[in-house]
Amino acid sequence: MEIHDLLKKINRVEAPPHFEQRVMAELSSRKTKKARTMRMGLVFAGASSAAIIMLCVVGLFLLPQREPADMMSLEKELSPSVKRDVQMRDTEVIPIIEAVDYAGEMRPKQDQPPTIYILEHVSDSTDTKTKY
């Protein structure tokens, strides 16, 4: 006898009675579990986003911010030395005296040929010729 004929002779088994009811009961239990998990996820996501929004609101609107007027009052609260510096900065003009050594800027005479200056009398009235 061929193997496939023998295999066909193997007794078939059937599902136990009330198998459908068991499956449906399992289905409803899993559905409940899934819904609970989903609800928990939604709650967690909602709580997280609410917390983030709260942090943003607190950071943007509720924390004290420094206005220009507040900065003035802040300066008043400074130590006396700093206060004096601030006052000096505002009132006095400090002259800047800078010492400059021009000697270093001058070239020595020996390095250059002597300069000949020709003085020429310029006059419109005379006709004296210029001799070189």
Partner 1 sequence: MQRFSQKKGSKELRMVEQELMHLVQKGDEEAFEKIVTMYKHRIVNFLTQMTGDYQKAVELSQETFMRVYFKANRYKPMAPLSSWIYTIASNLAKTELKKAKKLSTVSLDDAHRGLGNRVAASDDLPDSFLIKDLKQALNALHPRYRIPIILKDIEGFSQEEIAQILKRPVGTIKARISRGRDYLKQSLEKNERNVDVSNNTEECPHGNT
Residues that bind partner 1 (CB under 8 A): 3-4, 6-16, 19-20, 22-24, 26-27, 30, 34
Q: Which is nearer to partner 1, 26 or 70 (CB)?
A: 26
Shortest distance, position 28 Cβ to partner 1, whole Å? 8
Q: Which is nearer to partner 1, 20 or 90 (CB)?
A: 20
Per the listing, tokens 């996820």 go with: 41
3 state DSSP class of 67? coil
Residue environment code for 32-55, b if the CB has 16+ CB neighbours within 10 A, otherwise e: eeeeeeeeeeeeeeeeeeeeeeee
**In contact, 86 and 75? CB cutoff 8 Å:** yes
Q: Which is nearer to partner 1, 23 or 55 (CB)?
A: 23
Name the nearest CA neighbour of 72 among 91, 88, 86, 84: 86
Q: Which is nearer to partner 1, 6 or 96 (CB)?
A: 6
Shortest distance, position 8 Cβ to partner 1, whole Å? 6
Shortest distance, position 24 Cβ to partner 1, whole Å? 6
Shortest distance, position 18 Cβ to partner 1, whole Å? 11
Number of H helices, E strands in the chain: 4, 0
